[in-house]
Amino acid sequence: MSVTGGVVSALDLSLRGQAAAIAAGEVEATELLDATLARIEERNPAINAVVETFPERSREMLAAAPDGPLRGVPIVVKDEWPLPWRAQRFGAAELLAPTAPGESGPYRALRDAGAVIVGVGNMHELGSGSTGNVSVYGAARNPWDTERCPGGSSSGPAAATAARLVAGAVGADGLGSVRFPAAYCGLTGLKPTFGRSAMAGHHMASTTTLIVSGPLCADAADCRLLGSALFGEELVSGDAAGLRIGVVRDAVSEDVAPEVRDACEAAIEALRTATGGEVREVELADLPAATLAAILAINAESLSGVAPERLNDLHPEISPINRGFTKYRMLLPAAAVVQAGRVRTLMRRRLAALFDDVDVIVWPTTPAVAPPLEAPMVELPSGTHTADQANVRGAALANLTGIPAISVPVGLSSDGLPIALQLQAAWGRDELLLDAAEALERANERRWVESLPPLARAEPTEA
Amino acid sequence: MEASDRAEDFVPAGLASFGIEADEVDLAVMNAAHQMFWPGIRGLLSLDLSAVEPERNPDMSRSPEAS
């Protein structure tokens, strides 16, 4: 097998394909690493997905790699965790929390699985947006259309995987930050049950009750493999037969662009047919309150320990929108945070009851396709909204309550941009989400998970 | 006293209370954020959730029944 070209390029294999080819001796891991670095050099300028590579560190990781399930497989990690040779920057000129190089949970998980961290992925500044167009490194760009947002905040990991710089990447999800870029870039992205995936070393690890690390890959099987490394346990394949699918007739599934609605409704029917399951309409009241509660919770947690006067000394290169928004967030009343906690309890109890009746609840991951970088606004039946406002209402519930969620590509718009369906399940049922995603892929004859953006269709260059 | 959704009533008072400085750009962003969030926050505060028994030290990795 050729590493960079020919009939089959190892660079273009799936994550599990790369792992298997290396394990079988069909591909030399050192050659794959060099070819991956060369591809980053070739393709990254168009998308600004990878903000730093460190070939010598990567080679050292490879030389010391144990014979694990990801031995020799190159991975990109979001700029949200420290590495032993690099502190995270969180996509910003500075963080309000102190940072330092170190062995983060995702680093250890990848190292112990034999993977090779080949680069750091760009991200939306301070993790504060769903678009990825604001970053100290400059905007990341969507490989499907480089004038469009790649999604955020895990913008770089998604764009890098979609453009096939790597076959998998590690993102983080505090209010949808794995799922949004997965949706915009045509990938599968898993937001694990809170606490199941590696989080040590994150600058909010001791305070967050919402943020998780999660895999971004082309399909569910690759997410299962990378997720198993992040979880530190094998995510065993099961059977989604007889899946009980809950549909919520609310703004999250109704106030969406017509193309998105049509593709997601077709996908829900395909999933029902493929699993021999059933679709039930279910009630889930107070979703707007849940969204606001999640925003208030992550806001309070992110400002924990920050003295107000510290905000008078923000780095001048922090973007104007984050300078002003951070100051506004400091003013929000404690009574609202307490009330948000009660909404959280209410929604957790409602979901616990709901998951007695259905296995998954589904709605579009984002209500519209990736918006333009220069003006990230979306047109919905209810009017024009910022992408952030529109996106968060379908994502926050999983973070607020701790349940797992997955974004699965289910179509392309008339503009050739990816459309995605989100599935959410009860606590600890991450494996079921992967099973259901695989059933949906089969039902669609893998058409959407195997679709490639223009940037990834380029003929590989022979090294 | 009637409640107000006006950023001009809320933002300067909050900044002064905390001793946070803000320039014109900061204020424009804060005013926009206030218009976006404050009506929802007032709505949230007006919800009667007195019947919701709080979870003590909830384990977010598990259902409320299990934690």
Average pLDDT over chain A reads 96
Check if A319 is active-site.
no
Residue B52 belongs to a domain: no
User: In 10 A of CB B14, how many CB atoms?
Assistant: 21
Which pLDDT belongs to residue B5? 80
In-domain check, residue B22:
yes
Confidence band for A292, pLDDT divided at 50, 70 and 90: very high
Contact B61, A196 (CB under 8 A): yes
Determine the pLDDT at residue B67: 63
pLDDT at A7: 47
Is there a domain that residue B29 lies in?
yes
Whether the pTM exceeds 0.90: the reply is: yes
Determine how β-strand A212-217 pairs with β-strand A168-173: antiparallel
Distance of CA A300 to the CA centre of its chain: 23
- Find residue A364's DSSP bridge partners: A421
* CB neighbour burial string for B56-65, b if at least 16 within 10 angstroms, e if fewer: eebebbbbbe
The pLDDT of residue B33 is 95
| Count of structural domains within chain B | 1
Q: Using the beta-carbon criterion (under 8 Å), do B19 and A312 form an inter-chain contact? A: yes
Give the confidence band of A5 by pLDDT, cuts at 50, 70, 90: low
Taking contacts as CB-CB distances below 8 angstroms, the residues of chain A near B21 are 312
- pLDDT-based confidence at A458, cuts 50/70/90? low
B36 lies in a domain? yes
User: In which domain, by residue range, is B30 found?
Assistant: 7-41
Contact with chain B for residue A312, Cβ under 8 A: yes
What does the pLDDT average to over A79-108? Answer: 95
Please report the pLDDT score of residue A242 as a whole number. Answer: 98
Q: Is the ipTM of this complex over 0.90?
A: yes
Q: How confident is the model at residue A462 (pLDDT cuts 50, 70, 90)?
A: very low
- A223 CB-side CA count, 13 A: 33
Among this protein's residues, is A153 annotated catalytic? yes
pLDDT tens digits for A188-217?
Answer: 999 999 999 999 999 888 889 999 999 999
Domain assignment present for B56: no
A258 touches chain B (CB under 8 A): no
Q: How far is CA A23 from the centre of its chain?
A: 27
**Average pLDDT, integer, range A336-365:** 97
Q: Is the pLDDT of residue A87 over 70?
A: yes
Asked whether residue B37 is assigned to any structural domain, the reply reads yes
pLDDT given at position A463: 41
What pLDDT score does A261 carry? 98
Is residue B61, in this structure, part of any structural domain at all?
no
pLDDT means over runs of 10, chain B (67 residues)? 81 95 97 94 94 90 86
pLDDT digits (tens, 9 = 90+) for A6-65: 545 999 999 999 999 999 999 999 999 999 999 999 999 999 999 999 999 999 999 999
Q: What percent of chain A stands above pLDDT 70?
A: 98
The residue count for chain A: 463
- Check CB contact under 8 Å for A345 and B52: yes
Per annotation, catalytic residue among A14, A58, A78, A302: A78
CA distance B2 to chain A (A): 17
Amino acid at A57: R
Do the domain assignments include residue B57? no
A78 part of the active site: yes
User: What would the mean pLDDT of A106-117 be, rounded to a whole number?
Assistant: 98
Average pLDDT over residues A266-281: 98
Q: Which 8-state DSSP code applies to residue A344? A: H
